[in-house]
Structure 1
Amino acid sequence: MHSAASWTGTPAIKGSSEAMRMALLTVSLVGIQFTWGIEMTYCTPYLLELGLTKSMVSLVWIAGPLSGLIMQPIVGVLADKSRSKYGRRRPYMVGGTIVVSAALLVLGWTKEIVGVFISLPKGASKEAKEFQRGITIGVAVLSIYAVDFAINAVQASCRSLIVDTLPISKQQMGSAWASRMIAIGHLIGYAAGALDLRGIFGTMLGDTQFKQLTVISAIALCISIGITSYAITERVLVVNGKEEVPASEGISAVKEMLMQLLTTASNLPRRIQMICWVQFWCWIGWFPFLFYSTTWVGEIYLRYNAPVDARESKDTLGQIGRIGSMSLIVFSIVTFLGSVILPWVVRSPEDEKVEFTPRPPAGIAPILEQIEKYKPSLLTAWMVSHMIFACSMILAPFVTSLRSATATVAVCGIPWALACWAPFTFIGIEINKLNAPLTNSHYRHVSTASIESEPGVLRLHHSDDIPSSTSASTGELAGVYLGILNLYCTLPQFVGTFISWVVFSLLEPGKSPELAKEAHPDEHHSTEGPNAIAVCLFIGALAAVGAAYATNRLKHIP
Structure 2
Amino acid sequence: MNDITSYDSESAESKQPLLGYQSQQRGTSHWPNFGTMKPADVYGHGGLQDSESSVRALSPFRLLCLTISMGGLQTIWTSIMAQGSPYLASLGMSPSLISLVWLSGPLSGMFIQPYIGVLSDNCTFQWGRRKTFIVFGTIATSLFMVALPWTSNMVEFLFSCFGGNPMGPNSKAVTKFVAAMIISFLKISLQPVQCGIRALIVDCCPEDQQHQASAYASRVIGVGSILGYCSGFINFPTIFPFLGNTQFQVLSVLCCVCLVLTVLLQCMTIYEKKLDYKPAHRNQSVGVFGPLKQGFLTASTMPKRIRSICIVQFFSWLSWFSFMYYITTYIGALYRQETSATTGTTTIDPTRFGTVSMLAFASTFTFVSLTLPRYVATASGTPSHLPHTTEPLTLPRAWLIAHLLAAFSFLLLGLTDSSVSATFLTGVLGTSWALTQWAPFALIGEELAKIRQQPLRGHDRSSKKSDIEKLDDITEAESQTALILGIHNLAISAPQIVAAVGSSLIFWLLGLMGVVGTDAIGWVLMFGAVPAGMAAWWSMAV
**TM-score calculated relative to the size of structure 1:** 0.73
Contact 1:110 1:136 in 2 (8 A): yes
Q: Which residue of 1 aligns with 2:403?
A: 386
Looking at secondary structure, tell me which structure has more helix per residue: 2
Is 1:209 equivalent to 2:247 in the alignment? yes
2:535: which partner in 1? 547
Show CA shifts across 1:339-375 (max 9, x none).
2222233344664xxxx79x67xxxxxx8245x33x4
Q: Work out whether 1:71 is the aligned partner of 2:74.
A: no
Residue 346 (str. 1) matches residue 376 (str. 2): yes
2-side partners of 1:140 and 1:235: how far apart? 39
1:97 maps to 138
Provide the identity percentage. 33
2:435 equivalent in structure 1: 418
Question: What is the CA distance between 1:239 and its match in structure 2?
Answer: 5.4
Aligned to 2:504: 501
SS at structure 2 position matched to 1:236: coil
Structure 1 residue aligned with 2:197: 158
Q: Partner of 1:260 in structure 2? A: 294
Give the RMSD, CA atoms, in angstroms: 4.1
Q: Is the 8 Å Cα contact of residues 78 and 253 (structure 1) preserved in structure 2?
A: no
Q: Out of 183, 186, 194, which is 2:225 matched to?
A: 186
Partner amino acid, structure 1, of 2:265: I
In structure 2, the gaps of 5 or more residues are 12-57, 460-466
Partner amino acid for 2:183? Answer: I
User: Following TM superposition, by how much is the alpha carbon of 1:508 offset from its aligned partner in structure 2, in angstroms?
Assistant: 7.9
1:204: how far off?
3.8
Q: Which residue of 1 aligns with 2:315?
A: 281
| Aligned AA (2:314) | F
Partner of 1:364: none
Q: Could you give the per-residue CA deviations for residues 463-514 of structure 1, whole angstroms, max 9, x where no partner exists?
A: x9995695775423544543332222222122112123334556689xxxxx
| Residue 551 to residue 24, structure 1, CA distance change in 2 (3 Å) | closer
Aligned equivalents of 1:400 and 1:212: distance in 2? 36
Deviations 1:197-255 (A, max 9, x none): 34x51644333322222121122112211222222332223459xxxxxxx96971763
**Which residue of the partner structure matches residue 136 of structure 1?**
175
Give SS of 1:114's match.
helix
Equivalence for 2:268 = 230
Between the aligned partners of 2:458 and 2:531, the Cα distance in structure 1 is: 36
- Correspondence list, 1:88-487, <5 A: 88-118=129-159, 130-198=169-237, 201=239, 203-238=241-276, 252=286, 255-267=289-301, 270-305=304-339, 320=351, 322-348=352-378, 351=381, 368-370=387-389, 372-373=390-391, 375-431=392-448, 467=470, 470=473, 473-487=476-490
Secondary structure of 2:432 counterpart: helix
Superposed displacement of residue 532, structure 1: 4.7
TM-score, normalisation: structure 2: 0.75
In 1, distance between residues paired with 2:332 and 2:151? 23
Secondary structure in 2 matching 1:368: coil
Give the equivalent residue in structure 1 for 2:47. Answer: none
Distance 2:268 2:454 in 1: 38
* Runs of 5+ consecutive residues of structure 1 not aligned to the other structure: 1-5, 241-247, 361-366, 447-463, 510-525
Counterpart-to-counterpart distance in 2, 1:283 and 1:402: 24
Cα separation, 2, equivalents of 1:94 and 1:551:
35
CA distance in 2, matches of 1:263, 1:56: 36
Deviations 1:245-283 (A, max 9, x none): xxx969717634422332343455544433222111111
Indicate if the aligned counterparts of 1:396 and 1:408 stay in contact, CA closer than 8 A. yes
Which whole-Å CA distance do the structure 1 matches of 2:395 and 2:495 have between them?
A: 24
Query: Higher mean Cα deviation, 152-161 or 28-37?
Result: 152-161
1:111-170 deviations in whole A, cap 9, x for unaligned?
Answer: 2222223469xxx99xx7554433332222222212211111111122222234344454
Aligned length: 479
User: Partners in 2 of 1:257 and 1:271 — Cα distance?
Assistant: 23
- After the TM superposition, which of the residue ranges 411-420 and 489-498 deviates more from structure 2? 489-498
- Partners of 2:104 and 2:471 in 1: CA distance: 42
The corresponding residue for 1:20 is 61
* 8 Å CA contact retained: 1:261, 1:483: no
Q: Aligned residue for 2:464? A: none
The letter of the residue matching 2:357 is S
> Counterparts of 1:479 and 1:152 in 2: how far apart (Å)?
11
Q: CA distance change for structure 1 residues 504 and 249 in 2, over 3 Å: closer, same or farther?
A: farther
SS in 1 for 2:275: strand
* Match among 488, 505, 510 for residue 491 of structure 2: 488
